[in-house]
A and B are shown apart, each in its own frame.
Chain A
Amino acid sequence: MSGIRLDDVTKRYPNGVRAVDDVTLDIADGEFMVLVGPSGCGKTTLLRSIAGLEDVTAGTIWIGDTDVTEKTPQQRDIAMVFQNYALYPHMTVADNLAYGLKLRRMPKGERDARVRDIAGKLGLDELLGRKPSALSGGQRQRVAMGRAIVREPKAFLMDEPLSNLDAKLRVSMRAELARLHERLGVTTVYVTHDQVEAMTLGERVAVMRDGVLQQVDTPQNLFNRPRNLFVAAFIGSPAMNLIEAKIDGGRVRFAGIDLPLPGGSPLAGQERRVILGLRPSDFEHAAGADPDWPRIRVKPDVVEQLGSETLLIFGVDAPPVMADAVRAAAEAYSDDDGRLFAGEERAMFTASVDGKRPLGSGEVELAVDFTALHCFDPETGDALAVRRDAQPVA
Chain B
Amino acid sequence: MTSETASVPLARERRRSAIRLPRVGLHLFLIVVAILWLAPVIWALYTSLRPYSETAEKGYVSLPDTITLDNYTNAWNQGEIPHYFLNSLLVTLPALVITLFFAACVAFVVSRLSFRFNAILLIVFLAANLLPPQVVIPPLYRMYLEIPLPTFMSETGKMYDSLWGLIAINVAFQTGFCAFVLSNYMKTIPQSLGDAARVDGAGVVRQFFGIILPLCRPALAALATLQFTWVYNDFLWAVALIQSGEKRPITSALNNLQGVFFTDNNLIAAGAMLAALPTLIVFAVLQRHFISGLTLGASKG
A-side interface residues toward B, CB under 8 Å?
48, 51-53, 72-74, 78-80, 82-84, 86-90, 99-100, 103-104, 133, 147, 151
Contacts and interface: CB of A to CB of B under 8 A. Distances in A.
Given A103-B206, A133-B301, A86 B193 contact: yes
B196 A86 contact: yes
25 contacts: A52-B198, A52-B199, A53-B195, A53-B198, A53-B199, A73-B195, A73-B199, A73-B201, A74-B198, A74-B201, A74-B203, A79-B199, A80-B199, A82-B196, A83-B192, A84-B190, A84-B192, A88-B193, A88-B196, A88-B197, A88-B211, A89-B215, A90-B217, A104-B201, A147-B200
Nearest to A105: B201
A5 to B, nearest CB: 20
B41 to A, nearest CB: 38
Interface string B187-215: 00010110111111111001000110011
A86 B201 contact: no
Contacts of A88: 193, 196-197, 211
A91 to B, nearest CB: 8
Nearest to A76: B199
A86 B301 contact: no
Chain B interface: which size bin? 10 to 19
Contacts of B193: 86, 88-89
Contact of B192 (A52, A79, A82, A90): A82
Contacts of B210: 99
A127 to B, nearest CB: 16
Given A73-B195, A86-B190, A88-B197, 10 more contacts: A51-B195, A52-B198, A53-B198, A80-B195, A84-B190, A86-B196, A88-B211, A90-B217, A100-B200, A103-B200
Interface in B136-161: none
A183 to B, nearest CB: 22
A89 B200 contact: no
A151 B196 CA distance: 13
A74 B195 CA distance: 10
A151 B200 CA distance: 9
Contacts of A74: 198-203
Contact of A73 (B190, B198, B301): B198
A52 B200 CA distance: 12
B214 A90 contact: yes
B192 A99 contact: no
B301 A80 contact: no
A84 B300 CA distance: 12
Ordered nearest first, which 10 A-B pairs have the shortest CB separation? A100-B200, A103-B201, A86-B192, A74-B201, A86-B196, A73-B198, A133-B301, A82-B192, A80-B199, A90-B214
A89 B217 CA distance: 12
Interface string B78-99: 0000000000000000000000
Nearest to B215: A90
Nearest to B198: A73
A151 B199 CA distance: 11
A158 to B, nearest CB: 12
Interface in B242-301: 301
A375 to B, nearest CB: 43
Contacts of A73: 195, 198-199, 201
Contacts of A84: 190, 192
Nearest to A104: B201
A351 B215 CA distance: 53
A72 B192 contact: no
Contacts of A79: 199
Contacts of B199: 51-53, 73-74, 78-80, 100
A79 B196 CA distance: 9
Contacts of A83: 192
Given A88-B211, A89-B301, A133-B301, A82 B195 contact: yes
B196 A80 contact: yes
A147 B193 CA distance: 13
A76 to B, nearest CB: 8
A147 B206 CA distance: 18
Contacts of A89: 193, 215, 301
A100 B301 contact: no
Nearest to A103: B201
A99 B201 CA distance: 9
B202 A103 contact: yes
Contacts of A147: 196, 200
A149 B12 CA distance: 57
A79 B192 CA distance: 13
B197 to A, nearest CB: 8
Nearest to A132: B301
A100 B192 contact: no
A157 B193 CA distance: 15
B198 A99 contact: no
